[in-house]
């Protein structure tokens, strides 16, 4: 089942985002928004019961862990679930079967398995929120200092105008009281016939000072209240801190569950190996179970070798397991574990493409394939080769969503059916969504 829409994410999308079948490039410049959209997509895959797609999207960890997880997904597509159910039925029907020491831990293990992925997502979200909080705190301090400066400036000007008005009023009072005997307030000479002229000038100056003083008084009163931008920043800072505290508590809770998960895994590993089935049918089922697991890993290694060979332009000749079941890249200079960031990214993306291809050929095609985390870390030329592989895969997978930088999508627009650009407006606020149809066209000349 493909996704038809992506629901509003944390209030940032103005409305559900319509999603069509085909190969779509999602251009999301904001790292924070992109992570939220990626998380929402994985949650929507689970909500749509697309277990294979959700499992592929959730592959995490080292190359060895991803390969083991991918092989487990493929094994279930090859029929491992049914064999395990038959084995449990065989065991439950055996009169002398002893209960498995790890049986009681299985349910708890299933509950705790999603914890590492959820913890990683929340820790990343928490880092983003803390970075936002630091930025908002800096803006808040600047705005607060500017507000205080303006308040102090208004208070200083108002006091200066009040002093000047008081001084002018005093001089006018003295001139009127002394009449013709008044002296010039500047040079000290008797005013004689110039009294009325000097009084008029002082009155005009006094009225001007009073008018300006009233303006500064209103200005000071306006600045008693914090500006809208400052109040908005304070509100955002409070909301960020509240969200940081909430996520911090959630992260601490998940870290406790992760420790419990490690303990459960340790106890299950130490538990006795389940005894061999006592019946020929049970032993055949156990052999079939081992055969399916081996076949799934071998098939995945073969298809992964082909994908990495194309992604690396022939540099990687293949992938093999070492004695400890760790994948090693076969190069001209020998076999080695994926070490560099480029190699790990290529391994992760190649694994997802190989796994999606294999499950699709066995009738379990994921409705939606979400890619992009490893794609960003590929060298530029490898990105183009990866898009070519995805385009070929899109003929069998109904919907592929690739988080892709705009400049990369612009180089090969014909490879996509559409480019969906999702960006935040400058200064925050609403999110702008723009869809551009691309791909190859057909022109018929009559």
Chain segment 383-426, per-residue pLDDT in tens: 999 999 999 999 888 889 999 888 888 888 888 988 888 887 66
Domain with residue 261: its CATH number is 1.10.287
Of 220, 247, 274, the domain-final residue:
274
pLDDT of residue 125: 85
Q: By residue range, what is the domain housing residue 149? A: 104-274
Residue 292: give its domain's CATH number: 3.40.50.300
**129 and 193, same structural domain?**
yes
- Assess contact for 275 and 91: CB atoms under 8 A: no
Last residue of a domain, one of 274, 305, 329: 274
446, part of any domain: no
CA 339, CA 327: separation in Å to the nearest integer?
A: 11
Q: Where a domain ends, among 233, 251, 274? A: 274
Statement to judge: residues 98 and 116 lie in one domain: no
Instruction: Based on the fold, state whether residues 310 and 229 are members of the same structural domain.
Output: no
Q: Is residue 444 in some structural domain?
A: no
Residues 140 and 33 in one domain: no
Predicted confidence at residue 369, as pLDDT, reads 87
Domains identified in the chain, total number = 2
DSSP class per residue in 268-305: HHHSPPPPPPSSHHHHHHHHHHHHHHHHHHHHHHHHHH
398/193 Cα distance (integer angstroms): 101
Q: Is residue 89 part of a domain?
A: yes
Q: What is the pLDDT of residue 353?
A: 93
- Does some domain include residue 282? no
Q: Note whether 95 and 112 are same-domain residues.
A: no
pLDDT at 272: 44
Query: Are residues 245 and 303 both part of a single domain?
Result: no
My answer on whether 68 and 98 are in the same domain is: yes
Considering the domain architecture, whether residues 294 and 264 belong to the same structural domain is answered as no
Say if residue 72 is in the same domain as residue 138. no
**Residue 242 pLDDT:** 93
Low-confidence ranges of the chain (pLDDT < 50): 1, 8-10, 95-99, 272-273
Q: What is the pLDDT of residue 188?
A: 60
Give domain status of residue 279, yes or no: no
Query: Per the domain annotation, does 442 fall within a domain?
Result: no
Closest CA to 92 of 277, 234, 272: 277
Cβ atoms of 74 and 36 within 8 Å: the answer is: no
């Amino acid at each position: 089942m493909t996704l038809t829409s992506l629901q509003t994410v944390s209030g940032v999308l103005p409305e559900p985002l319509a999603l069509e079948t085909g190969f779509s490039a999602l251009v999301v410049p904001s790292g924070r928004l992109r992570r939220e959209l990626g998380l929402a997509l994985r949650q929507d895959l689970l909500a749509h019961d697309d277990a294979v797609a959700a499992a592929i999207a959730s592959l995490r960890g080292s190359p060895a862990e991803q390969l083991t997880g991918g092989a487990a997904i493929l094994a279930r597509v090859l029929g491992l679930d049914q064999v395990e159910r038959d084995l449990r039925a065989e065991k439950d029907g055996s009169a002398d079967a002893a209960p498995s020491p790890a049986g009681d831990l299985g349910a708890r293990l299933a509950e705790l398995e999603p914890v590492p992925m959820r913890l990683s997502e929340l820790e990343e979200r928490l880092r983003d929120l803390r970075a936002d909080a630091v930025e908002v705190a800096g803006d808040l301090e600047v705005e607060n200092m500017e507000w205080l400066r303006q308040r102090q400036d208004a208070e200083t000007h108002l006091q200066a105008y009040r002093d000047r008005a008081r001084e002018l009023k005093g001089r006018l009072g003295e001139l009127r009281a002394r009449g013709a005997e008044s002296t010039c307030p500047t040079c000290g000479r008797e005013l004689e016939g110039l009294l009325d002229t000097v009084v008029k000038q002082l009155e005009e100056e006094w009225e001007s000072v009073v008018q300006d003083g009233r303006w500064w008084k209103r200005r000071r009163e306006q600045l008693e209240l914090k500006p809208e931008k400052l109040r908005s920043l304070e509100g955002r800072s409070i909301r960020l801190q509240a969200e940081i505290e909430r996520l911090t508590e959630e992260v601490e809770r998940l870290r406790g569950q992760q420790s419990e998960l490690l303990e459960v895994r340790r106890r299950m590993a130490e538990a006795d190996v389940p005894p061999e089935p006592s019946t020929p049918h049970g032993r055949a089922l156990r052999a079939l179970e081992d055969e399916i697991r081996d076949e799934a890993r071998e098939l995945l290694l073969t298809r992964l070798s082909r994908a990495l060979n194309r992604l690396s332009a022939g540099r990687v000749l293949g992938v093999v397991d070492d004695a400890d079941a760790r994948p090693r890249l076969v190069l001209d200079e020998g076999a080695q574990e994926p070490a560099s960031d480029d190699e790990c990214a290529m391994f992760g993306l190649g694994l997802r493409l190989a796994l999606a291809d294999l499950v699709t050929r066995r009738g379990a095609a994921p409705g939606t394939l979400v890619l992009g985390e490893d794609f960003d870390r590929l060298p530029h030329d490898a990105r183009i080769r990866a898009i070519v592989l995805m385009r070929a895969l899109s003929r069998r997978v109904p919907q592929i969503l690739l988080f892709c930088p705009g400049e990369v999508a612009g180089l090969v627009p014909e490879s996509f059916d559409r480019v969906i650009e999702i960006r935040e407006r400058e200064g925050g606020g609403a999110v702008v969504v723009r869809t551009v149809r691309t791909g190859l066209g057909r022109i018929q000349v009559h």
